[in-house]
A and B are shown apart, each in its own frame.
Chain A
Amino acid sequence: MRQRAWGWNPAGRRRWAMAILLLGHLLWMALGRGASSRWQRLANLLASPPRAASAQWEAWKANRREKVSTLRQAQTDLLALRAQVTQLLTARAAEAPRVAEADEAIRLLGLKRLLPMEFRAARVIVNVRKAPFGGMIVDQGEDAGLRPDQGVIAPEGVVGRLWDVGATQSSLLPLDSYNASTGVMLARSRATGVLQGLGPGKAAIRYIGNQEVVQVGEPVFTSGLDRVFPRGLLVGYVSAVQPHDVELHVEVILAAPLDRISLVLILPAHPQMEIQPPAVPAQAPPGKQAGK
């Protein structure tokens, strides 16, 4: 039986394939002759999904690159900041003593302006106050005109007095030494007594009669009777009161931080008993100015 030329047999299928191939090319050429804009639109339409996906992929990659670079930059900055913080902490620790001394100097300057006396500033170079018969040593001596029994004060309160004056240094007897005696008075009752040291940070007032009314927390000032300190300098606060025979046993906590003090003011020898407050400059009447 003879096969049909364009039937469904191998030769026919090849013929159909060739015909489709030729007609497809012819159709493609014919369609391509017109305006290309519609094909471009069609191609753009078909290409838009992969183009959008590609854009998202590129954006994701750029975002990831940026995140990685930002993270690396942040890590670098963090390391630099840590090093900087360490340097600053070291510098602050190195500067801390000087800053503390500067603060104390500022407070001393304020005290010096408040009291109308001739002070001499000194630096405490040794503090062995807690040792037996210990004391404090300041960097001023006879070369600065110092003499024994000159009072020593700090912005917080009275510190003690000069005990022994050397050529360039002096030893200082703090208020809490067992052999220290200072004339004091109570703030409310104005009763006077003698402050004697009891050990680190503590002292007791002697010679206060039983009839006096003393309250815990009451301030204690210098009385000026010992001619070492003028009247009215803060010494401490009453911490305990107990009747003892004919007198009261009054314990005092000293106001001056003797453990951490580094700068002090040395009073002149035999100061006046009363301190006159500095004169307040007269204010010009309102509406008038000086020089007019």
Chain B
Amino acid sequence: MTNPSGAPLVRRFLLALLCLGGIHYAAPWPGPQAVLNTFLVLGLAPGFRSPLSGILWAAAGGWVLEGTLRLYPHLGGTAFGNMLTCLLAFSLLLRWPPHSLKPYWGRQAALVVIHTLLVHVSVRFAAGPHAWGTGWLWSLVLIPVWATLALRLHPPLHRK
């Protein structure tokens, strides 16, 4: 007997892997790189059935992003912020599964702001003041794209 949720899980896994590769290869373009990281943390990682899997993917995204930026402190601040935001998104999905697109956009926008603040607080805690950049703005502006994609192509498994 086959697992009915196996195929979406595999697709989610492959898409998360593609996001990791994209984060790595998008290092010369910090804006798209931040969008890919946000998509992985807020769009894909919370959708896994286990929160442990989700935060592992989020941590991996944070470490890959820090590893690609030469002038960025490699102390895990981004991974830590990713994991906390992913846990928050996971609990929100459990408590209030999304039913329509626009409320989901609003929730993702709030999570993007929280994610940005958490990451920068963590990085500041670990390594001191640093440049913020415009990646958060890219993530906010492109919410209609990546959030719609996350909900349409890969709805959270908890929703099914």
A-side residues, CB < 8 A to B, are 14, 17-18, 21-22, 25-26, 28-30, 32-33
- Among A18, A21, A25, A29, the one with the most B-chain Cβ atoms within 10 Å of its Cβ is A25
Partner of B76, one of A14, A17, A18, A29: A29
Residues of A within 8 A of B79 (CB): 25
Ordered by A's residue number, 8 sampled pairs between the chains whose C-beta atoms are within 8 Å are A14-B51, A18-B51, A18-B87, A25-B59, A25-B83, A28-B75, A30-B125, A32-B73
Residues of B within 8 A of A32 (CB): 73, 75-76, 126-127
- B82 nearest CB neighbor, chain A only: A25
Chief secondary structure at chain B's binding surface: helix
Contact of B50 with A by CB under 8 A:
yes
- A13 nearest CB neighbor, chain B only: B52
- B126 nearest CB neighbor, chain A only: A29
Cα separation A18 to B87 with both chains bound (whole Å): 10
Partner of B52, one of A14, A25, A29: A14
- A11 nearest CB neighbor, chain B only: B50
**Contact across chains for B55 and A21 when beta carbons are under 8 A apart:** yes
- B63 nearest CB neighbor, chain A only: A25
Chief secondary structure at chain A's binding surface: helix
Residues of B within 8 A of A17 (CB): 52
- B84 nearest CB neighbor, chain A only: A22
Contact of B17 with A by CB under 8 A:
no
**Contact across chains for A33 and B83 when beta carbons are under 8 A apart:** no
Interface residues on B, range: 20 to 34
- B50 nearest CB neighbor, chain A only: A14
Give per-residue flags for B65-88: 1 if the beta carbon is below 8 A from chain A beta carbons, else 0.
000000001011101100110010
**Contact across chains for B59 and A29 when beta carbons are under 8 A apart:** no
Contact of B38 with A by CB under 8 A:
no
**Contact across chains for B50 and A25 when beta carbons are under 8 A apart:** no
Contact of B139 with A by CB under 8 A:
no
Residues of A within 8 A of B84 (CB): 22
Residues of A within 8 A of B83 (CB): 21-22, 25
**Contact across chains for A25 and B125 when beta carbons are under 8 A apart:** no
Partner of A21, one of B56, B73, B125: B56
Cα separation A241 to B1 with both chains bound (whole Å): 132
Residues of A within 8 A of B126 (CB): 28-30, 32-33
Given contacts A22-B83, A22-B84, A33-B127, contact A28 B55 (CB under 8 A): no
Within 8 A of A (CB), among B105-152: 122, 125-128
Residues of B within 8 A of A33 (CB): 75, 125-128
- Among A14, A28, A29, the one with the most B-chain Cβ atoms within 10 Å of its Cβ is A29
Residues of A within 8 A of B76 (CB): 25, 28-29, 32
In the A-B complex, the 3 residue pairs with the closest CB atoms: A29-B126, A32-B75, A25-B80
Given contacts A21-B56, A21-B59, contact A29 B51 (CB under 8 A): no
